[in-house]
Amino acid sequence: MFSLLLVVIACAVSQTLAQSQPFGQCGGQGWTGPTTCTSGWTCVPQNDFYSQCLQQTVTTTSAPTSSPPATSTTSKTTSSTVSTSSSSATVTGFPASAPTTPPSKLVGQTPALGWNSWNAYQCSINEAKVLAAANQFISLGLKAAGYQYINIDDCWSLMARNSTNKQIVPDPTKFPNGISGVASQVHALGLKFGIYSDAGTATCAGFPGSLGFESIDAATFNSWGVDYLKYDNCNVPGNWSDNSLPQNNDWYNSNSAIRYRQMTAALAAQARPVQFNLCLWGNYNVWDWGTRVGHSWRLSGDSSASWSYITSIISTAVMHAQTGFFGHGDMDMMEIGNGALTIQEQRTHFAAWIMLKSPILLGTDLSLLNATQLAIIKNAELLAFHQDATVGGPAVPFTPFASAPTTNPPEYYVGKSSKGTHVFIINTSATAATKSFVFSNAGLGSSGTFSVHDMWTGTDLSGTYAASATFSVTVQPHDTVAYFIKAL
């Protein structure tokens, strides 16, 4: 009987351990962990790559102070497949009264470089972990490499606003010195501090959202010393969602865009400039209007530490690449240090975010990064391309030679910087492969002589090449090579 009891207990423990904890990941492409949640929690798909354990019923402390005309009682739209373009037609009704304030030009010229707490800690966040990351920026040389932002994600507050002034209240157990105390210590290290909120009635984890409280929250964040705001898209009331095309087919005038425009205006009214990230998961054609509202905008759902996510988001980013400063498609947080990505896949992960000018927010426990991983994320030449203050556009695909095969995502990219021309080549196959390109096909002209510099190693390759010459290299599975092509 005793042995049988032990077996029953062991099975029960095993089943509990095999379940995801509250707010934990429970599914998505490439996910190999638990697919069920602990009692009282449900596995809810957020996108193709991420499902999360959530409680389905969310309560809020106060209704939003403003709302558009009621259009639906259903939940928020989760995707938008209708191609639209801006219209010069007259805007009427509720959209006509919405703020049109642009984002600050005092921040966000180049993509953000920093760290975000979610991938490492999810809701298990506290002051000690945030300050540890900030100090590791110094000790690991990340600040010296150009990384600036230390950003807290969801779960930092109490579940209810202050009943008197309606401000969001930091959780005193997690943050005994308040958010302002953490921000002050981050600033003392010469770094910048970011926080998280939501353009709905509650955050994705059920904490107070900012819809209807934009002015209060923007002023509160300003008083705390916030430099960056990630603004999510959960728990949107039906009358604030978009279940039909917006007026004039212009998504800038959609209910969803207006929710974000309200926060843009509230932030602009504060003294402290804030870099504003629109976390709409690639919905509502955000790439068409994002630069008018924020400094960066998510191109998809949440990232995962999987090769399938990396290739998928590259394809999406290529379709919606931006062409200048102050507006950057966000491929979501870095997964370097997480999961089972090979070193080659981690190199591609970083190189793709670099060449497509996505914000780079590290998303792991920084103390666990090894020397090879640190060398990837601190590569000076790649970061210089990403942060170039003269040339703002990303690298773009090119045809490397006549009759080159087509792949998805593309494998060959060329980009310009203040130094000149750069070529990036991804091997999307699972085996080593020879990759080749003709110099003239990379926009280098039909004449001239060139040398090739390896941006990963910082060394020049031997030999010189004519414009009509072909350069070939063996690229390891899922790896990316990066070159600076110098005209001689």
Active site residues: 232, 302
- In 10 A of CB 8, how many CB atoms? 10
Q: Kindly state the tokens that stand for 393.
A: 């556009």
Strand residues in 75-200 grouped as ranges (E): 113-116, 149-151, 192-198
Look at residue 225 and give its three-state secondary structure.
Answer: coil
CA distances from 2 to 5, 6, 7, 13, 218 (A): 5, 6, 9, 16, 60
Q: Kindly state the tokens that stand for 376.
A: 């990837």
CA distances from 460 to 125, 231, 456, 481 (A): 44, 43, 11, 13
Tell me the C-alpha distance between 321 and 415, whole Å.
12
Helix runs in 150-284, H state only:
178-188, 214-224, 255-268
- In 10 A of CB 396, how many CB atoms? 17
**One-character DSSP codes across 390-411:** S--PPPEE---STTPPP-SS-S
Tell me the C-alpha distance between 63 and 438, whole Å.
61
Q: Which long-range contacts (CB under 8 A, 24 or more apart) does 174-178 make?
A: 174/125, 174/126, 174/127, 175/126, 175/127, 176/127, 177/127, 178/224
Q: Kindly state the tokens that stand for 388.
A: 């170039």
